[in-house]
Amino acid sequence: MGEDFYCILKLISGEEIFSLVCADNEEEEILILQNPVVMKSFNNGRGIFIKVKPWVELSDDDFFIIKLSSVITMTESKEQKLIDIYNNYINDSEDDSAEIYNPDGGKVGVSKEMGYISSVEESRRNLENLFKDL
| Tens-place pLDDT, residues 80-113 | 888 888 888 888 765 543 333 344 445 556 666 6
Picking from 47, 7, 1, the residue whose alpha carbon sits closest to that of residue 23 is 1
Question: Which element (helix H / strand E) includes 106?
Answer: none
Distance CA 16, CA 8 (A): 7
Question: Which element (helix H / strand E) includes 5?
Answer: strand 4-11
Distance CA 82, CA 78 (A): 8
Domain for residue 14, yes or no? yes
CATH number, domain of 115, equals 2.30.30.100
Q: Identify the pLDDT of residue 38.
A: 92
Domain for residue 133, yes or no? no
Q: Read off the DSSP letter of residue 48.
A: E
Q: Identify the pLDDT of residue 121.
A: 87
Per-residue pLDDT of the chain in tens (134 residues, 90 and over written 9)? 567 899 999 999 999 999 999 876 666 788 899 999 998 887 777 777 888 889 998 888 889 999 888 999 999 988 888 888 888 888 876 554 333 334 444 555 666 666 656 778 888 888 898 888 76
Number of C-beta neighbours around residue 61 at 10 A: 8
Domain for residue 61, yes or no? yes
Q: Identify the pLDDT of residue 98.
A: 36
**CA R_g for the chain:** 21
Number of domains composing the chain: 1
Structural domain containing residue 124: 4-128
| Triad 86, 14, 10: Cα angle to 5° | 50
Domain for residue 134, yes or no? no
